[in-house]
Amino acid sequence: MRSTPTQSQLLLFPGAPAPGDAQTAGGQVAAGRPPRRRRLSPAARKAAALDRLAEAAERELAEAWRAGDAMGARAAHERARGARRAAELLRAGPSGVAEVLGGHHEAA
């Protein structure tokens, strides 16, 4: 029996490509066009960099704590906290900084 375009085959494995789908070398189904990545703003890129810096400082904190270096752990903790706070301020933007710093203050 011939298959026609209106007929479809039942897939036994969800996520598996249909028999006629093109595949890439990694086994992924080839799409017509990859989704376009949205460019981040400079503030968002800087906030992401600060998050990475905070994560590195937190790893350093854990290493210093395991090594018994209390002063190094405290310094790493302060760096991580400062980087997280700076990223939070960047994400808040000019209108949200007052709320991040501890309450909304109206200009006189």
Asked if the model's pLDDT at residue 55 lies above 90, the reply is yes
Q: How far apart are CA 100 and CA 66, in angstroms?
A: 33
Residue 32 is inside which H or E element, if any? none
Reported as a pLDDT band with limits 50, 70 and 90, residue 101 is: confident
Q: How far apart are CA 12 and CA 88, in angstroms?
A: 47
Task: Find where tokens 């997280």 sit.
Answer: 84
Q: Which carries the bigger pLDDT value, residue 33 or residue 17?
A: 33
Answer yes or no: are the C-beta atoms of 72 and 64 closer than 8 Å. Answer: yes
Q: How far apart are CA 6 and CA 15, in angstroms?
A: 21
pLDDT of residue 108: 44
